[in-house]
Amino acid sequence: MKLHIQNNFTTELPADPSEINIPRQVERACFSYVTPKQPSKPTFIHASEEVAYLIGLSSKDIVSEEFLNVFSGKTVYPETKPYALPYAGHQFGNWAGQLGDGRAINLTEVVHNNQSYTLQLKGAGPTPYSRTADGFAVLRSSIREHLCAEAMHYLGVPTTRSLSLMLSGDEVLRDILYNGNPAYEKGAIVCRVAPSFIRFGSFELFYSRNDRVNLKLLTDFTIKHHFPDIKSESVTKYLDFFQEVSRTTLDMIVHWQRVGFVHGVMNTDNMSIHGVTIDYGPYGWLEDYNPNWTPNTTDRENKRYRFGNQPEIALWNLYKLANALYLLINDAKPLEEILNAFSVNYQKEYLNMMRNKLGLKVTKEEDAILIESLTELLQLIETDMTIFFRNLSNIQKTDTVEVAFDVIKEAFYNEKDLNASILDNWHVWLEHYKNRIIQESLTDAERKEQMNAVNPKYVLRNYIAQLCIDDADKGDYSLLNELFELLKKPYDEQPNSQKWFAKRPDWARDKVGCSMLSCSS
């Protein structure tokens, strides 16, 4: 197994002089060297071939002993020195102080095909940033991360990737619902891959300590290596950087709203500087379309991170990043302009995205109303988001509203909830929609093809992930393998997998892991 190693981060930025691996405050340093804990009996569960190719590995490498050892943390790859990053953050709206890679250890940077990547183990043991926790991860949450990160990639949503999933052979104690019922679970390790794991919170840390020197070092480093298109200097350079982070963050959120993904913990420490989805914890997928839904039980009261609030929160988080960068810019006005533009641009991009979901190519003023009335309608009775949009593409210009209604009604969880007034509302909307698609030049078949390219048929529904976890806990990984392959082609019909194009079954409605998740992972 041959990796092309690069050490830009650790050679160019200041290291923590201490290598003592106990929880502590780390000042004036961008990283701490730390060695993964050796797992007692590492076992290979799954790897993503495509991610392996991305970093220059082959199918043969994946099944090698060295792959298992390196990506479970058993051995350190030659000439590398693993490290963890400090960062800070706002959690659920409150300043949380120093956080950092508490159970993530960066193995190394690698270069392949002129692209550089950081490889990071999640769940490989404690670091100076573990605070009161153990540094490990359980199989349940590692499966969720491995499957979902890759599924998101194939959906076209910017995300960190997941190379591998290994069992550690060790047991990890977790109180899933934080209700005083801890139990042992199987420990696991995922290897994540991204350009870097620098977060909004990385900048907030230095800002909070008024450490302008390290803030500047980190920002300059980030721009130099990860934003090579920024050619400007001094203050403009930092503004361009912030502008670019705002843009990619916005793009990511539009994608989340398109596919019905709810991150669940949009704390500033869980926001990647690259505008990619990071930290798959208590995330979930909308089943019935409900903007107020969050899968995260920790957030049940305020629902700060509910589906419909994700754009607002992204902006809130960008404010925090702007605050931190202000220390280098010293001028609030241009930062405010970028922040103000976010909402306007979001609205525009959101409408475009929804137009695409509806198969509308021409831009018309009235579309905003068509879209708004649809999202209201989708909430009147439980309506499955994925099934609704997928089936909508089967409507034909010549259909009567009754026929059109038949096409979409599979999406309703309980048809008995439909009363005359709701039915009437649907007929009105479908009439409007039909008139609208008649004004387009696309044929029915062309529109269907375009809609099916943005409305996935298969997403990692919460209950499907849970079924896979239940099997894997018993040592059966066949469903994991099946789902991994299925989710590589989420827009394809895949008739043999039709059973996964189904509404959430009733047993999963209020089940832990399916609709209720916590940060305990």
- Rule CB under 5 A: which residues touch Mg ion? 270, 279
| Element at 202 (helix H, strand E) | helix 200-208
Min CB(151)–ligand AMP separation in Å? 19
Min CB(26)–ligand AMP separation in Å? 12
What distance in Å separates the CA atoms of residue 98 and residue 89, rounded to the nearest whole number?
7
**Number of C-beta neighbours around residue 210 at 10 A:** 9
Of 126 and 359, the one with the shorter C-beta distance to ligand AMP is: 126
- Residues classed as catalytic: 269
- Closest residue to bound Mg ion by CB: 279
Min CB(110)–ligand AMP separation in Å? 23
Of 430 and 517, the one with the shorter C-beta distance to ligand AMP is: 517
Q: List the single partner that 275 binds among ligand AMP, Mg ion, none, CB under 5 to 8 Å by kind.
A: none
Min CB(35)–ligand AMP separation in Å? 16
Confirm if 83 and 29 have CB atoms less than 8 A apart: no
Q: List the single partner that 245 binds among Mg ion, ligand AMP, none, CB under 5 to 8 Å by kind.
A: none
Q: List the single partner that 391 binds among Mg ion, ligand AMP, none, CB under 5 to 8 Å by kind.
A: none
Q: List the single partner that 61 binds among Mg ion, ligand AMP, none, CB under 5 to 8 Å by kind.
A: none
The first and second tokens of residue 102, run together, are: 């508490």
Burial class (CB in 10 A: 0-12, 13-18, 19+), 469: buried
262 DSSP 8-state letter: E
Min CB(431)–ligand AMP separation in Å? 46
| DSSP-assigned states of every residue in 119-178 | EEEESB---TT-TTS-SB-BHHHHHHHHHHHHHHHHHT--B-EEEEEEEEEEEEEE-TTS
Min CB(500)–Mg ion separation in Å? 29
Q: List the single partner that 158 binds among Mg ion, ligand AMP, none, CB under 5 to 8 Å by kind.
A: none
The first and second tokens of residue 378, run together, are: 């989708």
What distance in Å separates the CA atoms of residue 493 and residue 456, rounded to the nearest whole number?
9
The residue behind tokens 């008024």 is 210
Q: How far is CA 292 from CA 91, 268, 286, 379, in A?
A: 19, 21, 10, 10
Q: List the single partner that 135 binds among Mg ion, ligand AMP, none, CB under 5 to 8 Å by kind.
A: ligand AMP
What distance in Å separates the CA atoms of residue 246 and residue 220, rounded to the nearest whole number?
17
Q: List the single partner that 284 binds among Mg ion, ligand AMP, none, CB under 5 to 8 Å by kind.
A: none
What distance in Å separates the CA atoms of residue 168 and residue 2, rounded to the nearest whole number?
23
Of 264 and 490, the one with the shorter C-beta distance to ligand AMP is: 264
| DSSP-assigned states of every residue in 406-442 | HHHGGGBS-GGG--HHHHHHHHHHHHHHHHHHHTSS-
Of 134 and 406, the one with the shorter C-beta distance to Mg ion is: 134
What distance in Å separates the CA atoms of residue 382 and residue 261, rounded to the nearest whole number?
17
Q: Where on the chain is the footprint of ligand AMP (CB under 6 A)?
A: 99-103, 129-130, 133-136, 265, 267, 270, 279, 281, 519
The first and second tokens of residue 216, run together, are: 């500047």
Phi and psi of 163, rounded to 5°?
A: -80, -45
Min CB(204)–ligand AMP separation in Å? 13
The first and second tokens of residue 400, run together, are: 């009567």
Min CB(195)–ligand AMP separation in Å? 19
Of 137 and 328, the one with the shorter C-beta distance to Mg ion is: 137
Of 124 and 370, the one with the shorter C-beta distance to ligand AMP is: 124
Instruction: Name the E strands within 4-144.
Output: 5-6, 32-33, 43-47, 83-84, 88-91, 94-98, 104-112, 115-122
**Number of C-beta neighbours around residue 357 at 10 A:** 22
Confirm if 74 and 68 have CB atoms less than 8 A apart: yes
Of 197 and 412, the one with the shorter C-beta distance to ligand AMP is: 197
Q: List the single partner that 102 binds among ligand AMP, Mg ion, none, CB under 5 to 8 Å by kind.
A: ligand AMP
Min CB(263)–Mg ion separation in Å? 11
- Closest residue to bound ligand AMP by CB: 102
Of 103 and 390, the one with the shorter C-beta distance to ligand AMP is: 103
Q: List the single partner that 136 binds among ligand AMP, Mg ion, none, CB under 5 to 8 Å by kind.
A: ligand AMP
What distance in Å separates the CA atoms of residue 159 and residue 152, rounded to the nearest whole number?
7
Of 109 and 279, the one with the shorter C-beta distance to Mg ion is: 279
